Amino acid sequence: MTQAPIYLQRHDHHAELVLNRPERRNALSARMWSALPELLADAADDPSIKLLVVRGEGGAFTAGADISEFETVYATAEAAEAYTKAIAKGLDGLAHFPKPTLAVIRGACVGGGCGLALSCDLRFAASDSRFGITPAKLGLAYTLNDTKRLIDAVGVPVAKDLLYSARLVDGIEALDIGLINRCFEPDTLDAEVGTYLATMLSRSTGSARAIKRVIHLIRAGVDHDTDETRQLFLDAFRSEDFQEGYRAFLDKRAPDFTGKA
């Protein structure tokens, strides 16, 4: 097994982005943030990958930024700016990843780890996992992009509560406030994720790409059809997936989607 602190593990039709510092509860180092954009590009460019799972090795998703590096990464204004830009590039890259993304969360999902999870489309968690967004504990601010992703998930009042208090919530409360999509008992999480992945992998990759793009545009403030959105809609009718989908419907069989345009 690789010793890299973050790596891409490929399966038949999906990949896992694995945070691999279990001895540090997968604390996110500067090296990990810098590696993230290239790993995402590799997964985006691989036509065999229909979706991306983000998970932590061991018992934690990630405890957040590696605070032991702070004396170095915040030593000067220039170093702090470079570090902040690397984090933003990684989180924004994950948020704009063109295929569906699913964070599978056990244990700690705190600080930058919660930001990483919020950059995914979906979040499934164990009931005993722990979530927190903690800049107020460190005297730091929270970026606009990260704050918007939090607000998009939980709304303004809950976002204020989580940010002002920096309190931790478990998976059950995280589900109740909209921070995650599904919550399962720890011993059933993997099986439930596997079942959901099988469902997603049976669906059209082309549809998922178009749907994700439209959702992104809506969240960015677009409130009416544009030339791009109309073209996305029309292009679907010319795709191999549509040809396969409607023929399978007529033949009363399960479709075998290729994801090709």
pLDDT on residue 1: 62
What is the spatial distance between Cα 201 and Cα 143, in angstroms, rounded to a whole number? 34
pLDDT on residue 66: 94
pLDDT of 183 > 60? The answer is yes
- Arch. (CATH architecture) of 6-200: Alpha-Beta Complex (3.90)
Task: Report residue 59 as tokens.
Answer: 């018992």
pLDDT band at residue 6 using 50, 70 and 90 as cut-offs: very high
Burial of 80-102, coded b for 16+ CB within 10 Å and e otherwise, reads eeebeebbbebbbbbbebbbbbb
Q: With H, G, I as helix, E, B as strand and everything else as coil, classify residue 112.
A: helix
pLDDT on residue 260: 57
Length of the chain: 261
What is the spatial distance between Cα 86 and Cα 68, in angstroms, rounded to a whole number? 17
User: What is the average pLDDT score of the chain?
Assistant: 95
SS3 content of the chain, % helix, strand, coil (to 5): 50, 15, 35
Give pLDDT tens digits for 200-214.
Answer: 999 999 999 999 999
What is the spatial distance between Cα 15 and Cα 22, in angstroms, rounded to a whole number? 20
Contact 32, 19 (CB under 8 A): yes
Q: In this structure, are strands 122-126 and 101-105 parallel, antiparallel, or unpaired?
A: parallel
pLDDT of 259 > 70? The answer is no
Q: How far is CA 167 from CA 55, 137, 203, 257, in A?
A: 23, 9, 38, 44
pLDDT band at residue 261 using 50, 70 and 90 as cut-offs: very low
Of 24, 33, 15, nearest to 59 by C-alpha is: 24
Give pLDDT tens digits for 48-72.
Answer: 999 999 999 999 999 999 999 999 9
Q: How far is CA 14 from CA 101, 105, 166, 200, 201, in A?
A: 10, 17, 34, 10, 8
pLDDT band at residue 258 using 50, 70 and 90 as cut-offs: confident
Q: In this structure, are strands 108-110 and 51-56 parallel, antiparallel, or unpaired?
A: unpaired
Residue spans of the domains in the chain: they are: 6-200, 204-251
What DSSP letter does each residue of 56-74 carry, written as one string?
ESTT-SB--B-GGGHHHHT
pLDDT on residue 156: 98
Q: Which listed CATH number (3.40.50.970, 1.10.10.10, 1.10.12.10, 3.30.1330.20) goes with 204-251?
A: 1.10.12.10
